[in-house]
Homo-oligomer: A and B are copies of this chain.
Amino acid sequence: MKFDLIHSDASARAGIIHTDHGDIETPIFMPVGTQGSVKAVEQRELEELGTQIILGNTYHLYLRPGVDLLKSVKGLHRFMSWTKPILTDSGGYQVFSLSDLRKISDKGVTFKSHLDGSMHFFSPEDVINVQRAIGSDIMMVLDECTPFPCERDYAQVSNKLTVQWAQRCQKEFHSTDQLYEHTQALFGIVQGSVYKDIRKESAAALTSLGFDGYAIGGLAVGEPVEVMYEMAEFCTALLPANKPRYLMGVGTPGNLLESVERGVDMFDCVLPTRNGRNGMVFTRNGKMNFRNVQYRADESAVDEECGCYLCRNFSRAYLRHLFVAKEILALQLASLHNLTFYLWLMKEARRKILSNEFSFWKKELMMRYHNSIVTA
């Protein structure tokens, strides 16, 4: 994996990540395909809408379909018939958010499957090897994602462990080979909750280890949005310019643009797909809730400026009918549209960075986004 920083517009960056499965133009949004499928969207549709990379989840894929199966089918790309890059998170977040019971020690984390209650153990080395079996282009280290609020002492202790684990992950990464034909990269994850000195310690330790890219973790977990922006800005300034920066689990369209402005290159979030399945649609004119009666007889396109299958062919009234009638097609069309919007947002952001207009464009778009037909 190689990252080329093409251009900066103040702190906002346009770059290219080169992988064996193709290039990724940053800033980029990565649709979330937790269990080997982006919910309600076909792989050919992801390609159609210009998806350059998707996310998979190590915790989920480890439990189902499992490491043995992933190895026997020669990795996730082949299993799900996806030829572009895949990033997998390490499963740390899911261990902490989905498992009833979990016990952290220096050795790793013991957890209970949310599926069948069975007990499992992830060492830092294990998560590397699971990701070797998955064959993701970009792997993540095992970390502890601290909650919000988080006591300073806990954040400090937790970060020490996260840094130790990162080191062990890196060692395992360097002492193992990829299982399939393509190379894999490894990202470190900066933690430290809302404490700048701990964040700084974390970033320093990780950059001295030297990773292919750096994620900013432990944000978007309930802290005020200003704190999230402040922390993201603080962290990007500490990270090397020649490596991609990934803000994990973020966020709304506004969150993405504010973070791009603060030097973030990569994003993933379930919002466009999960909220889409609940009837919330993102457009240039703000959010729309299609459970709302106001769209009952509205024959206009969901977003006239959008070129997706939904907006080219169907009316707001039809989409609302599909949601009210609980038709699966509602989930398909809303997910497709929301991903189209998120990908457009990042593509347009990149264009504006390249022409040094990012900040002005962002302000204009957000004014329009927040002051139009917000009905959700």
Contacts and interface: CB of A to CB of B under 8 A. Distances in A.
B40 A309 contact: no
A42 B299 contact: no
A157 to B, nearest CB: 35
Contacts of A297: 69, 72-73
A218 interface: no
A335 to B, nearest CB: 9
B73 A35 contact: no
Contact of A64 (B39, B64, B81, B324): B324
Contacts of A313: 43-44, 81
Q: Classify chain A's interface size.
A: 35 or more
Could you say which of A41, A313, A329 has the most chain B C-beta atoms within 10 Å of its C-beta? A329
A331 interface: yes
Given A65-B321, A315-B73, A317-B69, A37 B329 contact: yes
Contacts of A328: 37, 39-40, 328, 331-332
Nearest to A328: B40
Contacts of A40: 328-329, 332
Given A79-B318, A315-B79, A324-B64, A329 B72 contact: no
Could you say which of A35, A317, A328 has the most chain B C-beta atoms within 10 Å of its C-beta? A328
Contacts of A305: none
A296 interface: yes
Contacts of A309: 42, 44
Interface string A54-71: 000000100011000100
Contacts of A373: none
Given A69-B297, A297-B73, A39 B81 contact: no
Interface in A282-324: 296-297, 299, 309, 313-315, 317-318, 321-322, 324
B65 A35 contact: no
A372 to B, nearest CB: 24
A57 to B, nearest CB: 11
A322 to B, nearest CB: 6
A238 interface: no
Nearest to A331: B328
A60 B322 CA distance: 12
Given A318-B80, A321-B64, A39 B69 contact: no
A79 B320 CA distance: 11
A73 B314 contact: no
Contacts of A327: 35-37, 39
B324 A73 contact: no
Nearest to A64: B325
A96 to B, nearest CB: 21
A318 B35 CA distance: 11
A187 B304 CA distance: 40
21 contacts: A36-B327, A37-B322, A37-B329, A39-B327, A40-B329, A40-B332, A42-B332, A43-B313, A44-B313, A60-B325, A64-B325, A65-B317, A65-B324, A65-B325, A69-B317, A73-B299, A73-B317, A73-B318, A79-B317, A79-B318, A79-B321
Given A79-B321, A81-B314, 7 more contacts: A35-B325, A39-B329, A40-B328, A65-B321, A69-B317, A73-B317, A81-B313
**5 cross-chain pairs, A with B, having the tightest CB-CB distances, nearest first:** A40-B328, A37-B329, A35-B325, A37-B327, A81-B313
